[in-house]
A and B are shown apart, each in its own frame.
Chain A
């Protein structure tokens, strides 16, 4: 099973600040997917195929990486971005998620 380790576990950013969340895979994966989950809501797809923005996602979000190291970046933090973010892979079974990064607004 491929284990996805996210860092940081929790972080806070001021409006306008740049935020980077990292996802390290225990083995190489072909692509990474990212989700945003706001408190009390269902997850929402943000990034697919490592770096493609899902429909309706603001372009302040971006994804990058390869092999075992991937990242999600928010270029300029906004209050509405406060949420928990998860990475996900399905390069090999089982499909796995990272343990999540909670992002708060300062």
Chain B
């Protein structure tokens, strides 16, 4: 069974940093692109980042580019999201997701990690 378990969420002050982790199991982690998607309270889904199988290629929307860094450790089947210079608008539930076989869709999702940016 595919499992994605996020950790590392919490309350953080504006301007500070936080690092999320996602532990993957039930599939060959190194074979899949992986992503982070967030959802602000009572809002829709927003893509945050994607990383290639080897980690050599990363993709971000302008809203987080330069502040967030996605990375992975294939030996540990783990995905990470380093978030710097956090803003109140980064407050959201952050989901770890697996890109599917076609690469464009996300076919498995974690339960989410809550991040609150507030003083």
Interface residues of A (CB under 8 A from B): 31, 33, 35, 37, 42-45, 48-49, 54-55, 86, 88-90, 93-100
Q: Give the A-B contact count at a CB cut-off of 8 A.
A: 60
State whether A44 touches B109 (Cβ < 8 A). Answer: yes
State whether B47 touches A94 (Cβ < 8 A). Answer: yes
State whether B95 touches A45 (Cβ < 8 A). Answer: no
Chain A residues with CB under 8 A of B106: 33, 35, 43, 45, 88
A100 to B29, CA, bound (A): 30
| Residue of B59, B104, B106, B109 with most chain A CB atoms under a 10 A cut-off | B104
B110 at the interface (CB under 8 A from A): yes
30 A-B residue pairings within 8 Å (CB atoms): A31-B104, A33-B104, A37-B45, A42-B95, A42-B109, A42-B110, A42-B111, A43-B37, A43-B45, A43-B106, A43-B109, A45-B100, A45-B106, A45-B107, A48-B100, A48-B105, A48-B107, A49-B102, A49-B105, A86-B45, A88-B106, A94-B60, A95-B50, A95-B59, A95-B61, A95-B104, A96-B47, A97-B45, A97-B46, A97-B47
